[in-house]
Structure 1
Amino acid sequence: MISADLKHTYYQALLEKKSEYEGIFYVGVKTTGVFCRPTCPAKKPKFENCEFYGTAKEALLASFRPCQRCRPLSHPNYVSELVQKLVNAIEENPEHRWTEEDLRSLSVDASTARRQFKKRFGMTFVEYARARRMGLALKQIRGGNAVIHAQLSTGYESGSGFRDAFSRIMGTAPARLGDQQILKASWIDTRLGPMMAIASEEELVLLEFVDRRGLEREVERLRKRTGSAVIPGKTPAICSIEQELERYFAGELREFKTPVNLLGSPFQKKVWEQLRDIPPGQVTSYAEIAAAVRKPTAYRAVAQANGANQLAIVIPCHRVVNLNGNLGGYGGGLSRKQWLLEHERITSTKEVPL
């Protein structure tokens, strides 16, 4: 049973279309007979016409039908047919330089493509296609091909234009590439909304909810700190964490095994390792973490290290609460933190399949 206070909280989240509430509640609209996700773009109903449910199944059992606009039975950030069509077109000819004329030939409006790619990937369609081309150019240069060959094969007639585009994405000019590391970024749909995963071939370095405030700056700091280029794509580490997240949200996984690279100070790393020792279904306080790393008065520093964690869920900073039991803060939003803790509390007592 959802309390009256929580219903008002959910209604406010519905009015503001807060993405952090994706997967946490669904709203059934009594006047239309449909149920929606929190971010539905449709006109908002009056509070007295709303029924709130914790799962889509509960809304269906209450005789509501799924909304055709927000598709509550799909992933929170499902890939639209348009986005999938354009991604497939890029993969069929990844070296092509796309123009608005190309989009018109596919019966696609350029502004619609820009908006939907921005929502899905955090970059426009043109930026996505350019990053894909630069990834190919990088592979060619690393393979021993001349820069001019990589330039021409990716559709650049101008050497300076190619160098500028390459430098913006890769962080360095083609001739200075050397042994620069390449990180790949992918978007993973989860029960609580889409997450961005960034990884090398072997290790995960970032996992955050896409709507986290300041995520773009976080990715830029990561790029500068590692001296890496970040381009769209998947690696074995990303495939691994995608599979593990699916099992985690299904209540079938308690410990993440995907290799991670902790990028922080020695103190931050101690805090993060301590976080990983908190069992699912349990919580601890900043003060208790400070005592565990033998810095009993450094609970504020512990809180800062907690906030600097770049591997959401995998490094379970959501299991740290205030000493008085209040939830405290969480970069992904307190609604998600509360859901994660409740999810782990319930699933920690279940037998996990091998």
Structure 2
Amino acid sequence: MLFDLPNHDLLYQALIDQDSRYDGRVFVAVRTTGIFCRLSCPARKPKSENCNFYDTVAACVEAGYRPCKRCRPLATASDHDPTVAALTTALEADPARRWQERDIAAMGFDPSTVRRVFKRYFGITFLDMARTARLRSGFQTLSRGGRVIDAQLEAGFDSGSGFRTAFAKLLGQSPSRFTGEEILRADWIDTPIGPMIAVCDRTNLHLLEFADRKALPTELKRLQANAKGGIGVGRYDATDRIAKELDEYFNGLRPEFETPLAYHGSPFAKSVWHALRRIPPGATRSYSDIARQIGRPDAVRAVARANGANQIAIVVPCHRVLGADGSLTGYGGGLWRKQRLIDLEGQYARQSQAGKDTRHAASG
């Protein structure tokens, strides 16, 4: 399982047994409901294949799941801080509410203190937590073919302009601009390190980025300019395929990806991206290593720019590039995500080495 968690089967049995020993240490997120719970939750148990297990509340929230009202998993953190307790209780009671800093102040809390406290406990601010949950609901309504007004109401926006603004901030364009005839479709994919936006045609993945990346609207605008037919909301088989492969990747079952990719860049940039995909999971390279590999040892800075321009995160593993001194370098999804991906892939490297050692011993 992901990082240091026990394997999926053991955790699922703990869920069936309502084992309270895991409370505060492991949480279950249910794909079919979009809800996360304690393992001791008395609610009806989901099927094993619909469960993801996470080690923190932050991971559940960042993956787009909302807390269960029955077992109240946020209380694990809120027990330690009355500010967190009050605000998470309010959020659970009214998840569609459009929270603003003045609402926080009206409850008697200092907004700057709340930002700091929530970042410490959850890794994101309270306002980000509330907005992510609301936009996810609206996005999924549109993905199912729902009307913009239905998506707006599902996301808890009283104002159509407010919903369009928030949606445009996330995807780079207003939902009213979608025609339903676009060649490319964008959809939301939950991962243990945060929600991602995948853009696919019928067979290829064109873009895969974290939903909170600041450059996402710019990347989508660039993709729209390069791709004929525009970008709509929804899924193709390619979307389902990359979602399944990402799930297997994060669960320690798949070190490589097989979904066909469509690159949008110069021949030089494409050569860099191909080189990135040749880095084995668990290994890292420097920009100068990549420059030498593609036969352009003098183009280190250009390699760095191409690395930063990669629009297919994780699958084209720009996170495997470190500084010349081995330090973490810039990563559009955040250095904390880069570190977690490197840590996860270290498991694949160890598994690969153990397999080689076993084969060597057998042949000897």
TM-score interval, normalised by the smaller of the two chains: 0.5 to 0.7
State the Cα deviation string for residues 81-128 of structure 1 (Å, max 9, x = none): 96389559x746x5xx8599x96xx9965238944993698369x943
Q: How many angstroms does 1:214 deviate by?
A: 2.2
State the Cα deviation string for residues 164-209 of structure 1 (Å, max 9, x = none): xxxxxx7xxxxxxxxxxx1111111111111111111111111111
Q: Which stretches of structure 1, 4 residues or more, deviate above 2 A after TM superposition?
A: 26-29, 31-37, 40-54, 76-88, 97-100, 106-124, 126-130, 346-352
Q: How many angstroms does 1:233 deviate by?
A: 1.1
Aligned to 1:162: none
Give the letter aligned to residue 329 of structure 2. Answer: G
1:83 counterpart = 2:131: no
Structure-1 separation of matches of 2:320 and 2:129: 31
Quickly say closer, same or farther: Cα 1:197–1:81, change in 2 above 3 A: closer
Residue of structure 2 aligned with 1:28, choices 38, 55, 77: 77
Aligned to 1:203: 204
Give the letter aligned to residue 83 of structure 1. Answer: G
Note the 1:247-258 alignment, pairs <5 A: 247-258=248-259
Quickly say closer, same or farther: Cα 1:190–1:121, change in 2 above 3 A: farther
Structure-2 separation of matches of 1:312 and 1:107: 27
Preserved contact between residue 170 and residue 212 of structure 2 (Cα < 8 Å): no
Which has the higher mean CA deviation after the structures are superposed, 45-54 or 191-200?
45-54
Preserved contact between residue 281 and residue 345 of structure 1 (Cα < 8 Å): yes
Preserved contact between residue 164 and residue 174 of structure 2 (Cα < 8 Å): no
Note the 1:244-323 alignment, pairs <5 A: 244-323=245-324
Higher Cα Rg: structure 1 or 2? 1
Give the letter aligned to residue 128 of structure 1. Answer: P
5+ long unaligned stretches in structure 1: 1-17, 55-66, 139-169, 171-181
Preserved contact between residue 62 and residue 192 of structure 2 (Cα < 8 Å): yes
SS of the aligned residue for 1:290 comes to: helix
Structure-1 separation of matches of 2:288 and 2:140: 51
Structure-1 separation of matches of 2:122 and 2:223: 38
Quickly say closer, same or farther: Cα 1:117–1:194, change in 2 above 3 A: farther
Aligned to 1:227: 228
Note the 1:114-125 alignment, pairs <5 A: 114-115=162-163, 118=166, 122=170
Q: How many angstroms does 1:258 deviate by?
A: 0.3
Q: How many angstroms does 1:339 deviate by?
A: 1.3
Which structure ranks higher in relative contact order (CA pairs < 8 Å, sequence separation ≥ 6)?
Answer: 1
Identity %, equivalent residues: 35
Structure-2 separation of matches of 1:86 and 1:117: 17
Aligned to 2:159: 111
RMSD: 4.5
Note the 1:232-243 alignment, pairs <5 A: 232-243=233-244
Q: How many angstroms does 1:213 deviate by?
A: 1.8
Structure-2 separation of matches of 1:119 and 1:199: 19
5+ long unaligned stretches in structure 2: 1-57, 64-73, 92-98, 355-364
Quickly say closer, same or farther: Cα 1:195–1:273, change in 2 above 3 A: same
Preserved contact between residue 283 and residue 319 of structure 1 (Cα < 8 Å): yes
Quickly say closer, same or farther: Cα 1:317–1:265, change in 2 above 3 A: same
Q: How many angstroms does 1:232 deviate by?
A: 0.5
SS of the aligned residue for 1:231 comes to: strand
Preserved contact between residue 291 and residue 300 of structure 2 (Cα < 8 Å): yes
Q: How many angstroms does 1:130 deviate by?
A: 5.2
Quickly say closer, same or farther: Cα 1:254–1:79, change in 2 above 3 A: farther
Quickly say closer, same or farther: Cα 1:109–1:307, change in 2 above 3 A: closer
Structure-1 separation of matches of 2:267 and 2:118: 53
Quickly say closer, same or farther: Cα 1:51–1:128, change in 2 above 3 A: closer
- Relative to the length of structure 1, the TM-score reads 0.60
Aligned to 2:40: none
- Relative to the length of structure 2, the TM-score reads 0.58
Quickly say closer, same or farther: Cα 1:315–1:129, change in 2 above 3 A: same
